[in-house]
Amino acid sequence: MENKVRTRILHETDEDFITAAKALNEGKTVVFPTETVYGLGANALDDKAISKVFKAKGRPSDNPLILHIPSVKWLEKLAVKIPPEAFLLGERFWPGPLTLVLLADKTKVPSAVRGGLDTVAVRIPAHPVAKNLIQKANIPVAAPSANRSGRPSPTSFNHALEDLNGRVDYIINGGDAKMGLESTVLDLTASKPVILRPGLITKSQINLVVKAQGHKEYAGGKVLSPGTKYKHYSPQAPMVVFVGDQNDVIKKIKERAQAEKKAGKKVGVLSFEQHLKHFNDVDELISMGSQNSPLEVAGKLYGNLNTIDKAGVEIILAMGLDLDDELSYAVMNRLLKACGNNVVKS
């Protein structure tokens, strides 16, 4: 970035919330926590403000942004031909980690926010800091994850500060983002609702309100949702994910670790809690949580990727989850993005 921005740190005080809300209305950038990850916020209706988001992140311009809105009433200000299912889903899951893709009112929602599409992606965040800020600003806030494009999404204030200090105007220190995975994205503009990005709101939960098709992988063409086309969430070191029978996975990781260490590389391993004892001879060993709790693994995932990055390892070997439930599928989606689909199957 050519010109460094003076970044100010804010806290959870009434005065600082007013400062942050005013900054958003003035076209400045504000990083804040949501329940999923930290977001890099800007006024979604201000082209110049949105350009600052893309510049700070180094984000491709065809990658659409999610708009965080103060209330359901904003749907009718941003979208057209809204299906009744949108309000039913909002009533059931908002505030919360579900993003709905709707037909945009292109006279109001800038093309840059939409990634040049005819659609707009919206949600209402559940984190009290995000809710307070957006309600005080009383505008839709575009807020992709507060990291440089391609890097692991930040789930703590320190991670966001490390990535974007000097690139944004304000960062609110609001503690940790508890859920750790970005929102589920559901497209309501297709002939049948379809999940574009899996998350902690699962297909089974959505189906209690509206029948949806399972996760649709990016297959070329226009980018319909964040987190689909590009390599995402990636640590600096090359990463390999091992899947299959647990005993075979342990054996293959140990063999690969020994080979990499013999070649003079510093090796990091991401292991489930139950199997840490097998990898005591590696340079950096981090627990992913219990293999029986994909929710715990999800909450720790980006923090673990950031931590293992800081350790300066030259290769990361990670255990993958069995795809025996929908939450595991969402976690594996992020792991595969992080490793660029560099997978070893047993």
CB 36 within 8 A of CB 183: yes
Dig out the tokens for 328 from the structure. Answer: 């595991």
pLDDT tens by residue, 279-330? 999 999 999 999 999 999 999 999 999 999 999 999 999 999 998 889 999 9
d(CA 54, CA 62): 10
Candidates 54, 206, 236; CA nearest to 143 is 54
Per-residue pLDDT, 74? 97
pLDDT band at 104 (very low <50, low <70, confident <90, very high): very high
Q: Which residues are annotated as part of the binding site for L-threonine?
A: 36, 68, 123, 143, 183
Tokens 């804010």 -> residue: 10
pLDDT tens by residue, 183-194? 999 999 989 999
Q: Which residues are annotated as part of the binding site for ATP?
A: 59, 63, 119, 145, 153, 197, 233
DSSP state of 149: T
pLDDT band at 222 (very low <50, low <70, confident <90, very high): low
First to last CA, the chain: 43
DSSP state of 69: -
Q: Which residues are annotated as part of the binding site?
A: 36, 59, 63, 68, 119, 123, 143, 145, 153, 183, 197, 233
Model pTM score? 0.94
CB 105 within 8 A of CB 50: no
Please state the CATH superfamily assignment of the domain spanning residues 8-206 in this structure.
DHBP synthase (3.90.870.10)
Per-residue pLDDT, 234? 84
From residue 269, alpha-carbon distances to 99, 163, 279, 346 in Å are: 33, 23, 8, 18
Domain positions in the chain are 8-206, 239-345
221 pLDDT above the threshold of 50? yes
Exposed / middle / buried, residue 236 (Cβ in 10 Å: 0-12, 13-18, 19+): middle
pLDDT tens by residue, 158-207? 999 999 999 999 999 999 999 999 999 999 998 999 999 999 999 999 99
Per-residue pLDDT, 60? 76
Candidates 298, 280, 311, 290; CA nearest to 338 is 298
Identify the CATH number of the domain defined by range 239-345.
3.40.50.11030
From residue 156, alpha-carbon distances to 31, 106, 328 in Å are: 11, 34, 22
d(CA 123, CA 67): 6
pLDDT tens by residue, 259-268? 999 999 999 9
